[in-house]
Amino acid sequence: MALYPMRYIARVVLEARTPLFVGSGSGSLVKDAVVATDAYGFPYIPGTSLCGVIRHALEDTAEDASVWKEIFGYADKKSGKGAKLRVSSAYLVLENEVPALDNVEKYEGLAAKHFRYLPTRNHVRINHRGVAMDKGLFDNEVVYKGCRFVAELEMRGDKADQPNWEKVLDVLRASTFRVGHGTRRGYGRLAAIYLEDHRFDLRVDADFDAYLNYNPSFCPVVAPERLPQLKQQSCPPSEGEAMHYQLVLKPESFFFFGSGQADEEVDDVPVAEHTVYYDDHNCIHFSEKPQYLIPGSSIKGALRHRTCYHFNLLKERYAEVFANSPLEKIVVEGMNSAVYALFGLEGGTKLEHIDHDGFLEADDNAARTGRRGVVLVDDLFIYMALDTHIFNHVAIDRFTGGPIDGALYAEKATYLTDELGEVHIDIHVVPFEAREKELIEQAFEMALMDVCRGLLPLGGLTTKGHGVFVGQLWKNGQKIFDYEQAIASAK
């Protein structure tokens, strides 16, 4: 006890501000990837996922990473040390309690109705030529936006460890705190809406008794007398040095973000999902009808390709030089410096050495390994007044003038019925280091401005006129572009 006289314990309630995907590591007969579930069939966040995210966040910003090596533990060939920090799994909150052995029968109906078949997202990866890549079609389950999870952290140490404990809690409060898969394309943003911080000095009799009597059960999640304060006691966000961009957009007409599914009326419908909310007693409820959404992956994919285009334009790399040649790999996908710095590269990618004509620095031409991106785009649920319109299509045989067999289909697109309605898309860019950083940031902002000008449509059916938005671009609270002002000044 003399070695570690202090105990730091935090009980935290994390709310999913976007849909969440923490994979189980396997798929099913009809889905490529399914979420991790606890013993009772409810989604949960494994403690290893939480611990790994916290550790990386702390080590990435630490001047001396060896400090966190001591806290999280390590194992070398000849030595090792156990972790000072314990992180529990995060369990789903239902009626101010979590599923447990003594209440599981109470929630069997809820599990069967809402959690046995979770929403499914369909994805397709588009290359720089605007077509689907080979093996680029996949799908995965997601946990509903709004779900709350409760977890507990405990650290043993001494008084000198108190600053480190506070840094751990700051990670949970950060606006860039994300967990699970797909955190760079709309998933996994968690907000610490409730946090109880207990600190026990075991050398003090009162603290020693309080530590022995501490209730380890997650039921109830929040003490009854604290429930009225749950909504007010939101932990303040910590932006750090991350750049915050916001697109304030108005659709010109229709827009379409497809689900890949059909209904009784059309062959393809917009993506929509139920969301979760909690009442004043911290009890879970589901939205009456699905909410339409703009997936972060759709926005990120469009920005990725347009940033690549603008960076090449700024570097004076033109298609007639690079298209259909071995040099094409230098200016697209992971070998493009702007794409690599901002959007990363998938793990396992091996790009062979490519001779070039001096456009790149020597070390930039080496094979690049996988790395995570720094651009965070959240899924956006639209709660404004929306309506849908059915578009019927038929492909015509140009020789006979008649319809092609099997080419009659219909799609359902959405539009805002509120003329004053605006769509707010938040984008965070985590600090990064790269050669030509200013040029890379300039290319990215040019891509964002293209969205505001209506030059970069978002979503599907863009070749049919859908997905055109115009509006404003804000950076760290300052407006840096306004479409209407630009049009007025041009006149």
Q: How far apart are CA 252 and CA 230, in angstroms?
A: 40
Q: What is the mean pLDDT of the chain?
A: 82
Burial 325-337 (b: 16+ CB within 10 A, else e): eebbbbbbbbbbb
How sure is the predictor about 82, in pLDDT bands with cuts at 50, 70 and 90? confident
Which of helix, strand or coil describes residue 448? helix
Rounded to a whole number of angstroms, the distance between the first and last alpha carbons of the chain is 76
Yes or no: say if 119 and 141 are a contact pair by the CB < 8 Å rule: yes
Read off the pLDDT of each residue in 166-195 and give the average, rounded to a whole number: 87
Read off the pLDDT of each residue in 190-217 and give the average, rounded to a whole number: 90
Burial 168-200 (b: 16+ CB within 10 A, else e): bbbbbbbbbbbbbbbbbbbbbbbbbbbbeeeeb
Q: How far apart are CA 36 and CA 41, in angstroms?
A: 9
Identify each DSSP E strand in 337-422 by its residue range: 375-377, 380-381, 386-396, 403-416
pLDDT single digits (tens) 419-449: 767 889 999 998 888 888 899 999 999 999 9
Read off the pLDDT of each residue in 262-282 and give the average, rounded to a whole number: 84
At residue 43, the pLDDT reads: 92
Q: How far apart are CA 400 and CA 406, in angstroms?
A: 15
Higher-confidence position of 24 and 414: 414
Q: How far apart are CA 116 and CA 110, in angstroms?
A: 9
At residue 94, the pLDDT reads: 92
Highest mean pLDDT among 246-250, 262-266, 356-360: 246-250
Read off the pLDDT of each residue in 401-428 and give the average, rounded to a whole number: 81
Cis status, amide bond into 5, omega within 30 of 0: no
Residue with tokens 């140490």: 157
Is residue 224 predicted with pLDDT exceeding 70? yes
CA angle 119, 467, 421 (to 5 degrees): 85
At residue 221, the pLDDT reads: 87
Is residue 325 predicted with pLDDT exceeding 50? yes
How sure is the predictor about 15, in pLDDT bands with cuts at 50, 70 and 90? very high
**C-alpha dist (Å) from residue 162 to 73, 84, 200:** 17, 12, 11
pLDDT single digits (tens) 333-344: 667 788 888 888
pLDDT single digits (tens) 375-404: 999 888 887 767 787 887 788 888 888 888
Cα 430 → chain centroid: 13
What is this structure's pTM? 0.84
| Percent of the chain whose predicted confidence (pLDDT) is above 90 | 22
At residue 86, the pLDDT reads: 92
Q: How far apart are CA 46 and CA 36, in angstroms?
A: 8
At residue 449, the pLDDT reads: 95
> Which residues, 6 or more positions from 98, have their beta carbon under 8 angstroms from its beta carbon?
91, 92, 150, 218, 219, 221
Is residue 488 predicted with pLDDT exceeding 90? no
How sure is the predictor about 363, in pLDDT bands with cuts at 50, 70 and 90? very low
Read off the pLDDT of each residue in 352-375 and give the average, rounded to a whole number: 55
Is residue 234 predicted with pLDDT exceeding 60? no
Yes or no: say if 316 and 322 are a contact pair by the CB < 8 Å rule: no
pLDDT single digits (tens) 133-177: 776 677 778 899 999 999 999 999 888 889 999 999 999 988 888
At residue 6, the pLDDT reads: 87
> Which residues, 6 or more positions from 99, have their beta carbon under 8 angstroms from its beta carbon?
38, 40, 42, 91, 92, 107, 111
How sure is the predictor about 1, in pLDDT bands with cuts at 50, 70 and 90? very low
> Among 221-235, 273-287, 446-460, which stretch is predicted with the lowest mean pLDDT?
221-235
Higher-confidence position of 457 and 2: 457
